[in-house]
Amino acid sequence: MKHTLTLLTALLTSALCANGQQVITPQTTTINAAKRLEYSLETIAIDSAERNVVYRTRDNIEAPNWSRDGKFLLFNFKGGIYKLPITDDEKTVAVPGSKPQLLDTGIAKKCNNDHGISFDGTQLAVSSRTEGKKSLIYVLPINGGEARLVTPLSPSYWHGWSPDGKTLTYCAERNGNYDVYTIPAAGGEETRLTTAPGLDDGPEYSPDGKYIYFNSERDGTMQIWRMKPDGSEQEPVVADEYRNWFAHPSPDGKWIVFISFGKDVIADEHPANRDVLLRLMPAAGGEIRVLAKLFGGQGTINVPSWSPDSKKVAFVSVEKPVPPDWALPGMPKPHFHKQVPPPADFHRPTVTMNEPLGLFEGQSDIGGPLLPGSASYNSNTKQYRLTSASYNIWYTRDECRYAWKRISGDASLSATITFPNPDGYFDSKAVLMFRQDLGDDSKTIMVALHGGGLVHLAQRAEKGARIVEACRVKAGDRPAGAPPIRLGIEKRGDTFALLVSLNGEPLHQVETRADLHLDAPFYVGIGFCSHLPVTSDTAVLSDVVLK
Structure confidence by residue, pLDDT tens digits, 90-107: 889 999 999 999 999 999
Which pLDDT does position 33 carry in this prediction? 54
Whether 536 is in a domain gets the answer yes
Instruction: Write out pLDDT tens, residues 267-303.
Output: 999 999 999 999 999 999 999 999 999 999 999 999 9
Query: Do 221 and 341 lie in a common domain?
Result: no
Least-confidence region, from 308-322, 330-344, 522-536: 330-344
Query: Do 276 and 383 lie in a common domain?
Result: no
**How is the beta sheet containing 39-45 ordered, strand by strand?**
51-57, 39-45, 312-318
Query: Do 274 and 362 lie in a common domain?
Result: no
Higher pLDDT, 246 or 32: 246
Chain-centroid distance, C-alpha 9: 23
Which CATH number belongs to the domain containing residue 284 in this structure? 2.120.10.30
Instruction: Write out pLDDT tens, residues 399-441.
Output: 999 999 999 999 999 999 999 999 999 999 999 999 999 999 9
Query: Do 222 and 348 lie in a common domain?
Result: no
Chain-wide mean pLDDT for the chain?
92
Which pLDDT does position 398 carry in this prediction? 98
Range of the domain at 422: 330-546
Instruction: Write out pLDDT tens, residues 113-171.
Output: 999 999 999 999 999 998 777 999 999 999 999 999 999 999 999 999 999 999 999 99
Whether 138 is in a domain gets the answer yes
Neighbours of 173 (CB within 10 A): 17
Whether 51 is in a domain gets the answer yes
Query: Do 287 and 380 lie in a common domain?
Result: no
Query: Do 293 and 370 lie in a common domain?
Result: no
Does position 8 have pLDDT exceeding 80, yes or no?
no
Whether 248 is in a domain gets the answer yes
Report residue 11's pLDDT band, with 50, 70 and 90 as the boundaries. very low
Instruction: Write out pLDDT tens, residues 171-213.
Output: 999 988 999 999 999 999 999 999 999 999 999 999 999 999 9
Does position 308 have pLDDT exceeding 80, yes or no?
yes
Count of domains observed in the chain: 2
Does position 34 have pLDDT exceeding 80, yes or no?
no
Query: Do 438 and 296 lie in a common domain?
Result: no
Alpha helices in 293-335 (DSSP H): none
Does position 342 have pLDDT exceeding 60, yes or no?
yes
Q: Give the integer Cα–Cα distance in Å for 488 and 467.
A: 19
Single-letter amino acid code for the residue at 310: S
Instruction: Write out pLDDT tens, residues 38-58.
Output: 999 999 999 999 999 999 999
Out of 281, 296, 318, pick the residue that ends a domain: 318
Query: Do 514 and 386 lie in a common domain?
Result: yes
The fraction of the chain above a pLDDT of 70, given in percent, is: 94
Query: Do 204 and 108 lie in a common domain?
Result: yes
Provide CB contacts within 8 A for 246, sequence distance 6+.
201, 202, 204, 215, 258, 259, 270, 301, 302, 303
Whether 325 is in a domain gets the answer no
pTM for this entry: 0.89
Query: Do 150 and 219 lie in a common domain?
Result: yes
Q: Are 201 and 193 in contact (CB under 8 A)?
A: no
Q: Give the integer Cα–Cα distance in Å for 375 and 356.
A: 10
Query: Do 164 and 296 lie in a common domain?
Result: yes
Which pLDDT does position 28 carry in this prediction? 29
Q: Give the integer Cα–Cα distance in Å for 167 and 193.
A: 13
